[in-house]
């Protein structure tokens, strides 16, 4: 039983860590969400999100292999307990106050609701505590140190590759071969979101809560205070539901997704260094049909276009969508009638 739990816990940590090391920028975006003013309000950590994400992910895979091979098992279990307690608090806070919809524990590979994530952390914490009391029965294998060193090298290499190029495995909706047109379709009869409206009216100098069926607006002398909307159950959501290309207030999404062959230069941050601007300019010169897609402000786009010195269409897009499409700045997305046929860092 002890050995089974030892391997289960170790493998879960390995998978969790490697999925995040495979996409370090994605995990950094998730940490930024936790550090934002709407959640933990820790602006000082926003700029450290990438470093934090990389260290946490590498730490997970080290603990995973350490537990499996029995390397420094006492220290490894103590650190694991501390980690699960910390993330348990984080996920409970997120779930209780409904702050972050997805914890990002397994990147984009597996999605958990906040309460599912909290339950997962408590389950893993229980396994770790069990192993703590059974630690004297965990044997250290002869190659334990080498295994830990090997996992550090492999994990770091995977992360560096993803940073300089793209993730080895793409778990996002915009992976190669995806037909964006089809991915945006909602099946007929699909379940819709169900909301509950809570109405607050002042009646006889006392604020009371009402449901929509109570029709509080019909109460004589009732004064409206506020209305709150609560999501009761989530309906069907298309894999891609936020892809929209806009220019000067007009939508060019359908037009772009109908083109036979078009290269989209994705610029999450359009304030590029001079070397990257030259790369974009050279790319535009080499290819025929090219558009630029960026969530940047109009003023930043205007400043960039002056430096680029090219007459080219620029479409505005949602920032979160832009981050989801590709983990590179600049990045290239090649579409053929809406199907992603190429995707790479420029």
**pLDDT tens, position by position, 270-279:** 999 999 999 9
Q: Do the strands 223-233 and 194-203 form a parallel or antiparallel pair, or are they unpaired? A: antiparallel
* Distance of alpha carbon 60 from alpha carbon 230, whole angstroms: 35
| 160 in the same domain as 39 | yes
Whether 103 shows a pLDDT value over 80: the answer reads no
Query: Which carries the bigger pLDDT value, residue 22 or residue 41?
Result: 22
Does the structure show a pLDDT above 80 at 231? Answer: no
Token pair listed for 239: 């894999």
306 pLDDT more than 80: yes
pLDDT at residue 14 tops 90: yes
Report the alpha-carbon distance of residue 342 to residue 333 in Å, rounded: 6
Strands 262-266 and 246-247: unpaired
- Predicted model pTM: 0.81
Question: Could you tell me which residue, 256 or 117, shows the higher pLDDT?
Answer: 256
Domain containing 134: what range?
2-164
Same domain, 31 and 88: yes
Question: What share of the chain has pLDDT > 70, as a percent?
Answer: 98
- 185 lies in some domain: no
Q: Mark whether 145 and 213 lie in a shared domain.
A: no
* Domain co-membership, 207 together with 292: no
Span 124-168, pLDDT tens digits: 999 999 999 999 989 899 999 999 999 999 999 999 999 988 999
Cα→Cα distances 166→59, 74, 162, Å: 22, 37, 4
pLDDT grade, residue 189 (50/70/90)?
confident
CB-based contacts of 230, cutoff 8 Å, min separation 6: 195, 196, 197, 198
pLDDT of 106 higher than 70? no
| Residue 93, helix vs strand vs coil | helix
C-alpha atoms less than 13 angstroms from C-alpha of 334 in its C-beta half-sphere: 12
Mean pLDDT to the nearest integer, 36-58: 86
Please indicate, yes or no, whether residues 263 and 340 belong to a single structural domain of this protein: yes
Residues 130 and 272 in one domain: no
Contact 49, 28 (CB under 8 A): yes
The number of domains in the chain is: 3
Residue of higher predicted confidence among 267 and 110: 267
Q: Are residues 130 and 25 in the same domain?
A: yes
CB distance 9 to 61 below 8 Å = no
Angle at which helix 144-164 crosses helix 2-21, to 10 degrees, equals 20
Contacts of 129 (CB under 8 A, 6+ apart): 81
pLDDT band for 201, please (50, 70, 90 cuts): very high
Whether 248 and 108 share a structural domain: no
């Amino acid at each position: 039983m002890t050995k089974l739990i030892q391997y289960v816990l170790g493998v879960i940590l390995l998978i969790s860590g490697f999925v995040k090391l495979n996409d370090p920028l994605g995990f950094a975006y998730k940490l930024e969400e936790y550090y934002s003013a709407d959640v933990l309000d820790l602006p000082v950590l926003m700029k450290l999100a990438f470093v934090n994400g990389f260290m946490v992910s590498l730490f997970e895979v080290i603990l995973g292999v350490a537990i499996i091979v029995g390397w420094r098992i006492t220290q490894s279990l103590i650190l694991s307990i501390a980690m699960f307690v910390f993330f348990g608090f984080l996920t409970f806070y997120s779930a209780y106050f409904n702050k972050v919809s997805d914890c990002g524990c397994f990147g984009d590979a597996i999605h958990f609701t906040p309460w599912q994530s909290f339950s997962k952390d408590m389950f893993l914490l229980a396994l770790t505590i069990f192993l703590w009391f059974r630690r004297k029965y965990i044997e250290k294998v002869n190659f334990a140190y080498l295994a830990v060193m090997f996992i550090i090298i492999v994990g770091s290499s995977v992360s560096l590759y993803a940073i300089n190029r793209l993730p080895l495995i793409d778990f996002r909706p915009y992976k190669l071969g995806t037909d964006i047109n089809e991915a945006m379709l909602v099946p007929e009869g699909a379940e819709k979101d169900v909301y509950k409206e809570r109405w607050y009216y002042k009646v006889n100098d006392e604020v009371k809560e009402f449901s929509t069926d109570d029709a509080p607006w019909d109460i004589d002398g009732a004064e409206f205070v506020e209305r709150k909307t609560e999501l009761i159950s989530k309906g069907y959501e298309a894999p891609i539901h936020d892809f929209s290309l806009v220019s000067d207030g007009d939508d060019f999404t359908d037009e772009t997704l109908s083109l036979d062959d078009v290269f989209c230069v994705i610029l999450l941050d359009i304030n590029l260094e001079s070397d990257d601007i030259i790369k974009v300019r050279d790319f535009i010169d080499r290819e025929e049909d090219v558009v630029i897609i960026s969530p940047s402000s109009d003023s930043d786009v205007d400043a960039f276009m002056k430096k680029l010195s090219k007459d080219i269409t620029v479409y505005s897009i949602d920032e979160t969508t832009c981050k989801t499409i590709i983990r590179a700045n600049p990045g290239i997305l090649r579409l053929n009638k809406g199907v992603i046929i190429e995707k790479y860092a420029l």
